[in-house]
């Protein structure tokens, strides 16, 4: 395929592009195309490819594997149909509130509205890139929002940037924490349970662009390492309020044959709800990433994401230091 035939249209000034003029079923097998999408993601964080009606499950899965090791995140033990049972499509999780003709759930999930969040932050190695492939939507088409956490960090007051640069938060587990109703009404877990979990930096390094970005636990009652409950809560409320006011946002109502891939480390996403009686079906594929790198860490510089000139400069400095 020819990359130059692809049309690129911004979805907003600061986040997201739409690309058209190709068939993903064919393009997905082209290494140049995968590199092209990676470059777009490094800059724009979200890439929408509408009208992909020919995409086969195995191709969708193998395309996503170019963005990291695939992770099977299907819920265990709920007898959902998903796409199939073969190894060739085993990493596709169906997100749906629908029920199949035999009474089995089509996939995992429900029709609830969801708050801003990044997937899998309580994990030691959270997911990096995630794909959606819309197969069916409800008559009321819920919008999925994406927000740049690079911009959210960039627009913080300098005093706040300085104050949070070296802080870490404990990302404790809280069941269904992304649902709006549970986020509003769910009681806090006891402090000792909120003290358990992996800790991640509040300011994380975006390796593809070497920029700082905010990285927040979804629960506002999470604990900042070394801080008390009240001060932790106040800071996380302040930071989330800032994020919610960030202008680097898109809101897209997914329709059938939309394929969308996003950088889960550098964005948060949310979702509108829809009537429970209407079925929506999305395929969802996740790839693993890296243990979040603190932006403040300058010891043993991580060269991932640097361009060739920057790598040469660091190498030269190191040679000089050893001389």
Interacting residues toward Fe ion by CB under 5 A: 119
Q: What DSSP character marks residue 179?
A: B
| 304 CB neighbour count, 10 Å cutoff | 12
Closer residue to Fe ion in complex, CB, 224/263: 263
**Least distance between Fe ion and beta carbon 139 (Å):** 23
- What is the token pair recorded at 272? 């509108």
Closer residue to Fe ion in complex, CB, 122/294: 122
- What is the token pair recorded at 323? 């001389």
**Least distance between Fe ion and beta carbon 119 (Å):** 4
Q: In what order do the strands lie in the sheet with 267-271?
A: 114-117, 267-271, 143-148, 249-253
**Least distance between Fe ion and beta carbon 109 (Å):** 10
Contact 82, 109 (CB under 8 A): no
Closer residue to Fe ion in complex, CB, 59/138: 138
**Least distance between Fe ion and beta carbon 98 (Å):** 18
Task: Tell me which residue has its CB nearest to Fe ion.
Answer: 119
Closer residue to Fe ion in complex, CB, 59/265: 265
Closer residue to Fe ion in complex, CB, 233/252: 252
**Least distance between Fe ion and beta carbon 75 (Å):** 14
Burial 5-42 (b: 16+ CB within 10 A, else e): ebeeeebbebbbbbbeebebeebbeeeebbebbbebbb
Closest by alpha carbon to 281, among 78, 91, 100? 100
**Least distance between Fe ion and beta carbon 284 (Å):** 9
Closer residue to Fe ion in complex, CB, 119/263: 119
| 3-state secondary structure at position 276 | coil
């Amino acid at each position: 395929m020819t990359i130059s035939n692809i049309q690129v249209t911004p979805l907003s000034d600061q986040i997201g592009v739409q690309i058209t003029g190709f068939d993903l079923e064919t393009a997905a097998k082209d290494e140049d195309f995968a590199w092209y999408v990676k470059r777009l993601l490094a800059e724009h964080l979200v890439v929408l490819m509408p009208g992909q009606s020919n995409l086969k499950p195995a191709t969708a899965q193998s395309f996503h594997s170019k963005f990291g090791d695939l992770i099977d995140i299907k819920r265990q033990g709920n007898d959902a149909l998903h796409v199939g049972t073969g190894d060739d499509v085993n990493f596709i999780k169906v997100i749906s509130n629908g029920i199949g003709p035999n009474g089995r759930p089509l996939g995992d999930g429900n029709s609830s509205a969801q708050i801003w969040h990044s997937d899998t932050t309580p994990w030691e190695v959270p997911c990096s890139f995630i794909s959606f492939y819309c197969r069916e939507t409800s008559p009321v088409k819920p919008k999925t929002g994406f927000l740049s956490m690079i911009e959210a960090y960039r627009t913080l007051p300098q005093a706040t940037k300085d104050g949070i640069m070296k802080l870490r938060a404990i990302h404790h587990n809280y069941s269904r924490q992304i649902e709006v109703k549970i986020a509003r009404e769910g009681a806090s877990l006891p402090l000792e349970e909120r003290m358990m979990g992996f800790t991640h930096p509040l300011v994380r390094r975006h390796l593809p662009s070497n920029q700082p970005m905010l990285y927040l636990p979804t629960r506002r009652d999470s604990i900042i390492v070394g801080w008390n409950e009240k001060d932790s809560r106040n800071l996380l409320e302040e930071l989330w309020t800032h994020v919610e006011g960030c202008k680097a946002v898109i809101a897209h109502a997914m329709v059938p044959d939309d394929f969308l891939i996003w950088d889960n480390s550098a964005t948060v996403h949310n979702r509108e709800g829809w009537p429970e009686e209407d079925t929506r079906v999305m395929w969802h594929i996740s790839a693993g990433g890296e243990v979040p790198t603190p932006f403040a860490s300058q010891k043993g510089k991580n060269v991932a994401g640097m361009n060739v000139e920057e790598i040469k400069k660091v190498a030269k400095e190191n040679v000089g230091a050893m001389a």
